[in-house]
Amino acid sequence: MSRIRRIRAEATAAWHSFLRRRTAVFFTFFFPVLLVVIFGALVRTQPTAGGLFAEPPAYYIPGYLATVVLFTPLSRVGSEIARHRDDNRFEKLATTPLGRGEWLIAHTLVNVAIIGLASLLILGLVVALTGAVVPFTARLALLVPFVVCAVVLFCGFGAILGRLSSTQDGVIAASNTIAFPLLFLSDTFVPLALLPGWFAPLVELSPLTYFARGVRALTYEPSITEPYGVELGVVAALAVAFFVAGAYAIPRTD
C-alpha cells in the first residue's frame, strides 16, 4: 500500500469516527456559534464607547475564527491519542506500515476539513448577525493558508499534549488550560491598549497572535492595507515545527 493510500485510509476512518460521535460534532460547531451569538448579536459592539467590544464587529472576526482553529485541534488530536493509548491501538499500528507522521497527516487533514467548514459558518454568521463589513478583495482568499497553517500548528501541539497527558480527561483539562488564555490574550478579543504595559510584550509570544493579526489584515477594513506576509510566515514556520514535534511525540507502542 502506497503512502497516499495509507493516509487516505486513516483519514477516512478518522472522518467516520468523528461523524459517529454526535456530541463532538455538535459542540465543534455549536461552541463558536454560541460565541458569535452572545458577543456579536446579544452583547454587541459599542464603537467609540470604550472598554471591551469597543471596536467595530469585523475587528473581532479573527477571535471568532481562532476559537475553532485553537480549541478543535488541541482537544481532538490530543483526545484521539489518549483514546488510542487506552485501547492499545498504537501497539497494533506499530505492526502496520503506517508511520507516525502519516497518522498525524491523516488526522490533520480531517481537522482541516472540519475547521474549514466551521470557519465558513462562523464568517457567514458574523456578517449576518453583527452587520460586520468584510472587504471582498483578492486578499480574502489568503484566509485559506492562514487557517490551514494554524490547524497544522495546533494539531501538532495537540499531539504533544496527548503524549504528555495520561488520560482523555487530562488532555481536555490541559487543552482548556492552554487555550482559554491564548484565545483572549493573543490580540483577538482584547486590544493591546487594554492590557497592562508589562504584559503586552508577552502577547508576541503567542502563535495565535500572528494568526489574529494576519486574518485582521484580510478581513477588517481599517487594516486592509497592512502587510500580512510576516504573520503568515511565522504561522507557517511554527506549523512545520509543531507538526514535526507532534509526529515525533506520537507513541509507537503503549
pLDDT tens over the chain, length 254 residues: 688 888 888 899 888 888 887 777 777 777 777 777 776 656 655 555 555 666 788 888 998 899 899 998 998 898 888 887 777 777 777 677 778 888 899 999 999 999 999 999 888 888 888 888 888 888 889 999 999 999 999 999 999 998 888 777 788 888 889 998 898 889 888 888 778 888 888 899 999 999 999 999 999 888 777 888 999 999 999 999 999 999 998 877 65
Angle at 235 between CA 232 and CA 236, to 5 degrees: 80
Cα 224 to Cα 137: distance, rounded to the nearest angstrom: 9
How far apart CA 236 and CA 254 sit, in angstroms, is 31
Cβ burial 124-157 (10 Å sphere, 16+ → b, else e): ebbbebbebebeeeeeeebbeebbbbbbbbbbbb
User: Do residues 187 and 207 make contact, with C-beta atoms less than 8 angstroms apart?
Assistant: no
Distance in angstroms (rounded) separating the CA atoms of residues 73 and 63: 16
On whether the CB atoms of residues 145 and 236 are closer than 8 A, the answer is yes
d(CA 225, CA 227): 7
The SS3 call for residue 184 is helix
Which whole-number Å values give the CA distances from 2 to 8, 93, 106, 252, in the listed order? 10, 16, 14, 20
Q: What is the C-alpha separation between 176 and 169, in angstroms, rounded?
A: 11
- The pLDDT value recorded for residue 40 is 63
pLDDT at 154: 96
Provide the grid cell at 213. 493579526
Q: Which amino acid does the sequence have at 158?
A: G
Angstrom distance (rounded) from CA 106 to CA 115: 14
The x, y and z cell numbers of residue 209, run together, are 497572535
- Of 79, 77, 76, 71, which Cα lies nearest the Cα of 179? 71
The confidence score (pLDDT) of residue 143 equals 94
